[in-house]
Amino acid sequence: MRRVGEMLAGMLAGVLVLAGVLLVLVGVCVGEYQHDSILCDDVQAICDINNLPYDKNETLCGTRQSFLNPSECNCGTFCLQDLAEGNECDTKSVLSYPSRLCGPQLTCVPNPSNIDEPGTCKKNSAWPCLHLAQQYELDEEAGVLGPGRYKPTCDDFGRYSPVQCSPSSTCYCVNPEGRRLFGESLIAEQDKMDCRCAVYWDEIETKGFSQGLRCLANGNFDSLNCQDNICFCFDKDTNTIPYGPFPLNSLSTLPCYNTSLHREEYYNPCHKQQLLWDSQSSENMVIVSEKRRPVCSPDGYYASVQQLGNTAYCSDIYGNIIEDFSHTIEQTNEMTCNCARRRQIMEENGMGASKPKCCPNGEYYPWQKRGLLAYCVDLNGNQYNESVAATDIQSLPCYNTLDPCQQ
């Protein structure tokens, strides 16, 4: 009898184990999955059991700050509240993740009298872009803005936005620290500029690469690109190739081919001359020529500074000297020709009456005049300090009676 009892107990235990397995399987099928593992092995079931949405909703939060939910296997969307300037903010939190943060261009500044108390959302004037923007607002309120002042545009983190503009002239591309990059266009065209290609080239050149996607003159990505005689369309919004690849001889059939922007041979003038120059060289031949290998911009046209013999000169996009702006080759590293290029852009677009004054090497003259006022400018032609009456120009800090262009 005892042995029979043991056999019955064993059979009952087996039945219970089998029933447990069936219950688990049924639970998975009906969405009653019990998550006992640290692994997200069935995300949809885990989201269901925690009453969290499985689908991601990019528009759910209605603010710039939305993330995948950090609580359970990234179920759904986690919204952060944007705090406005002057709102109280938490410098410390007992939670593993916050539910609210200071909004764009703001940082949580601790209470100086008691660090355990809530802080305040403020703009951090230590960030160069925000500092200049705040100074612009103060001078605007005081009524001391000059004709060459501009308010820099800053991103959500207080860095320089890629597109910056100078009053009544042109817009140009910069990196997050405000350093000038390739790309410039009339200020009236600023809404068409994003400078993403200019920033992209700055990043890849920093990493030591010399080849990449082609840009347009304003610093945007060119929608048509070719690499090693293979061409394709590039979508800058999705960073994808929606059409291609196709051989170079089919270039004009691509939907992104634009007769006002592109050539059937694809290569723009400077890029084409680089290829011709490179084809002359070989291991057994040395090229002796006054004209050096051309320097190209990311759009395939000539860069602003070119060299000829012992001279560096300011070049238009076709390699021709702009007016007579040049310098000895020893000073090439200090040349940008920013002023010379802006003069030409403005002249070609009927704005010659207000074009800037340049030094012989194509850089900005230290002070500029507009109407009855005079003011000092930086390397990008933007005013700094206050303006004065043109008759009082000697009071400017940048004024120099000797050689202004050698400061």
Domain architecture of the chain: domains with CATH: 80-122 (4.10.40)
Peptide bond into 245 cis (omega under 30): yes
* Burial of 249: CB neighbours in 10 Å, binned 0-12, 13-18, 19+: exposed
Q: For position 45, what pLDDT does the model report?
A: 83
Query: What phi, psi does 232 have (nearest 5°)?
Result: -160, 165
Per-residue CA distances from 62 to 59, 79, 80, 114, 121 (Å)? 6, 9, 10, 34, 20
Q: Look up residue 166 and give its two tokens.
A: 């100078």
Per-residue CA distances from 79 to 95, 101, 233, 348 (Å)? 15, 10, 36, 50
Other Cβ atoms within 10 Å of 250 Cβ, number: 12
Query: What phi, psi does 376 have (nearest 5°)?
Result: -85, 150
| The total number of residues written for the chain in this structure | 407
Per-residue CA distances from 50 to 47, 74, 75 (Å)? 5, 12, 9
CA quadruple 265, 267, 272, 278: dihedral positive or negative? negative
Q: 3-class DSSP state for residue 231?
A: strand
Query: What phi, psi does 143 have (nearest 5°)?
Result: 75, 30
Please state, in angstroms and rounded to a whole number, the distance separating the CA atoms of residues 335 and 314. Answer: 9
Please choose, from the candidates 160, 214, 193, the residue with its C-alpha nearest in 3D space to the C-alpha of residue 382: 160
Please choose, from the candidates 270, 244, 269, the residue with its C-alpha nearest in 3D space to the C-alpha of residue 257: 244
Q: Look up residue 233 and give its two tokens.
A: 């369309």
Q: For position 37, what pLDDT does the model report?
A: 62
CA atoms within 13 A on the CB side of 385: 17
pLDDT block averages, 10 residues each, the chain of length 407: 42 41 40 61 80 67 64 75 87 70 86 85 88 92 91 92 95 96 96 97 91 96 93 93 92 94 93 89 54 91 94 96 91 86 95 92 95 94 94 94 80
